[in-house]
Chain A
Amino acid sequence: MWLSILGLILGISLGLLTDIQIPPEYANYLSIAVLASLDTLFGGIRAHLQQVYDDKVFVSGFFFNIALAAGLAFLGVHLGVDLYLAAIFAFGVRLFQNIAVIRRIILAKWAEKKEVRETI
């Protein structure tokens, strides 16, 4: 767990220190990509906690979701319809659901542990 947080910190510091910028027109796509990746990440954590984690699903989901979201946003810009809202909505809802499931699982585990300790 700590290793992944270290990875996050490393990524943020690398991004901030190198001062990489993308053209402002593409900021929209990147924000959707960030959302998609967060969604995949929490989905992965949930799957891991529910013991249904699959490596291939996780990695392919990560890249596929990002590409799909960015592609949808791109299509939306060219059609004049704010299609990226659809991606934001879908990812946003799923993000909340995943976090809720993770919370329930952790709470259930915690309660179980407490019960076991009390019985001892």
Chain B
Amino acid sequence: MKKRILTRFTVIMFIIGLMTAIQYNTINEPHIRDTRDSWEIRQELAREKQLHSQLLSEIGSLDETLDKYGAAADASPEQALRETAGELRKAAGLAETTGPGIEIFVEPSLEAVAMGLEIEGISPDLLIRLVNEINRYNGLYVSIDGKRIINTTAIRDINGQTTVNTKPVQTPPFSLKIISGSMEESEKLYNHLLASRILDDFYIDNLTLNVSEPQNDMMIEAYDGTIDTKHLQASEGE
């Protein structure tokens, strides 16, 4: 009798265990499946590779700085520091910069002039779009109507006037200057802008973009304001 009870209990326990395990399996099944095809994975890989090469070049430039420090440490540490500070100022947009680049002239469209339409200022949205387009193609340094774009630059509408760094942008015509890393990149940017849909967007606002051929010695003004670093903190570690 006792043996029979034990067998029954064992069978029931077995079924309970099985059901619990199945329930556990079902609940723990991952709901998000990887549905990317090989092309998407390839693109992801390309992105990561780009990041890889970018990091490598960054490491290279930092190593260079380190070497420079090492070489100049005995001769004149002040000179090395000054050079680094100069480079950092250049990167932050506080120094005048020269390099290969292009100039874009924003002008009222011929049709608007012929029709006698009133020329209105460029809208901040359009200007931001243009800057984004430029940044997509490695525009390193940009200035709009003589106003240097830095990391904290705001392009916005203040009292009906489009401003860059809180200074109003002229009613067209005015020009943008863009410096790229190399002549090759400048040419790429030039071709991209010529084929870009942004031209149509400007045309809707009765404006045209004239992109100049890449030049070797484009000069961009320095940022003339002060950079507010009140809320910045030194990073920990290296």
Q: Mark B13-30, 1 if CB is under 8 A from A, else 0.
A: 111111111111111010
| B157-200 contacts to A (CB < 8 Å) | none
> Which of A5, A10, A12, A53 makes the CB contact (< 8 A) with B5?
A53
| A1-51 contacts to B (CB < 8 Å) | 1, 3-16, 19-22, 24, 27, 30-31, 33-34, 37-38, 40-41, 44, 48
> Which of B8, B9, B17, B29 makes the CB contact (< 8 A) with A11?
B17
Chain A residues with CB under 8 A of B19: 11, 15, 30, 33-34, 37
Chain B nearest Cβ from A87, distance in angstroms: 15
Chain A residues with CB under 8 A of B24: 15-16
Chain A residues with CB under 8 A of B10: 3-4, 6-7
The yes or no answer to A59 lying at the interface (CB within 8 A) is yes
Chain A residues with CB under 8 A of B15: 11, 37
Number of interface residues of B (CB under 8 A): 25
Establish whether residues B14 and A21, one from each chain, have CB atoms under 8 Å apart when the complex forms: no
The yes or no answer to B4 lying at the interface (CB within 8 A) is yes
Chain A residues with CB under 8 A of B25: 15-16, 19-21
Query: What's the dominant secondary structure at chain A's contact region?
Result: helix
> Which of A5, A7, A22, A31 makes the CB contact (< 8 A) with B11?
A7
The yes or no answer to A84 lying at the interface (CB within 8 A) is no
Docked Cα-Cα span, A10 to B4, in Å, equals: 19
The yes or no answer to A58 lying at the interface (CB within 8 A) is yes
Docked Cα-Cα span, A38 to B10, in Å, equals: 13
> Which of A10, A22, A24 makes the CB contact (< 8 A) with B14?
A10
Establish whether residues B22 and A30, one from each chain, have CB atoms under 8 Å apart when the complex forms: yes
CB-CB nearest in chain B for A16: B21
Establish whether residues A3 and B21, one from each chain, have CB atoms under 8 Å apart when the complex forms: no
> Which of A1, A7, A27, A48 makes the CB contact (< 8 A) with B26?
A27
20 of the cross-chain contacts (CB-CB < 8 Å) are A6-B10, A7-B17, A8-B13, A8-B16, A10-B17, A11-B14, A11-B15, A11-B18, A11-B19, A12-B18, A15-B20, A15-B25, A16-B24, A19-B25, A20-B21, A30-B23, A33-B19, A34-B16, A41-B9, A62-B12
Task: Tell me the A residues contacting B by CB distance below 8 Å.
Answer: 1, 3-16, 19-22, 24, 27, 30-31, 33-34, 37-38, 40-41, 44, 48, 53, 55, 58-59, 62
5 A-B pairs with least C-beta separation: A15-B21, A11-B17, A7-B10, A11-B14, A12-B17
